[in-house]
Amino acid sequence: MPPLADALAWGAAIAMLAVALRGLHWRRLAEPASVAVFGAVLLALCLLRIATVPLAPGLELHFSGAAIATLMFGWRYALLALALATGFDALATGAAWLGPPWEFLAGGVLPVAATWWLLAATRKALPRNPFAYFLGAAFGGGLLSMALAQGARAAVATAAGSQGGGSLLDDYLLSLPAMMFGEGFLTGGTLAVLATYRPQWVATFDDDFYLRDGSPPS
């Protein structure tokens, strides 16, 4: 990418991370149980980035976990976790797939924003029961987050000239359905298990709202 574009990407990535960090409740990270859960999810996010399938130059495939982190911790902690995972990817492989700022924006900011928006939309539009959460916010969040992330990555890679535009688009379209449904099942299955057996780990699953028809959680 041109130096100016990279500089703008760095600026946008740093700005988004700063906004997230500014509103974090840091005391939660001082609790041993919270640190353990956050650390386990962060480790999983890092491992997902190591398990990459290089489909073609400029197009590498791996599951994200962005929707899982968003629904478990909220968007601020999710952005922190994804920023750390992107940094780990850059250190472990020499450089993140698109470069740290682009990868954080495409694989972090965009999926987190999409998942958070879909969660709010499902709370308003769908019935107040756990299936609406698992199928709408979790499974749907995985689908949407992967679609947008892969679309953004393909666009950036094409603009950077990593591969011929038509060939890259063909590879992207061929891989997209499998990646979307894989991410959706991973997110929906993970949140279903956690909300059932460890609901205290899922910040966005509120018993009063989904089980007792209460008011939406703040």
Q: Which domains does the chain have, with CATH numbers?
A: 3-210 (1.10.1760.20)
- CA-wise closest residue to 53 among 158, 191, 182, 143: 182
Encoding tokens for residue 73?
Answer: 């911790």
Question: Could you give the C-alpha distances from 202 to 76, 133, 144, 172, in angstroms and in order?
Answer: 14, 12, 20, 32
d(CA 51, CA 71): 22
Structure confidence at residue 218 (pLDDT)? 47
Q: Cα separation of 42 and 4, whole Å?
A: 31
With contact defined as beta carbons under 8 Å apart, do 72 and 202 qualify? yes
Who contacts 158 (Cβ-Cβ below 8 Å, separation ≥6)? 58, 165, 168, 169
Residue 191 in tokens: 């949140």
pTM attached to this predicted model? 0.89
What single-letter DSSP state applies at residue 203?
A: T
Q: Tell which residue, 182, 173, 171, has the closest CA to residue 139.
A: 182
Helix axes 66-73, 32-50, angle to 10 degrees: 170
pLDDT score at 29: 76
Q: How far from the centroid of its chain's Cα atoms is residue 18's Cα?
A: 18
Q: Are 73 and 79 in contact (CB under 8 A)?
A: no
C-alpha–C-alpha distance, residues 131 and 137, integer Å: 9
Residue type, 195: A
Q: Which two tokens stand for residue 101?
A: 């700022």
Q: Which residues of the chain have pLDDT under 50?
A: 217-218
- 181, HSE (Cβ side, Cα atoms, 13 Å): 4
Q: Is 185 exposed, middle or buried (0-12, 13-18, 19+ CB in 10 A)?
A: middle
Q: What is the predicted pLDDT for the residue at 25?
A: 83
Phi-psi category of residue 2: left, alpha or beta, with phi > 0 → left and psi -120 to 50 → alpha:
beta
**What does the pLDDT read at residue 19?**
93
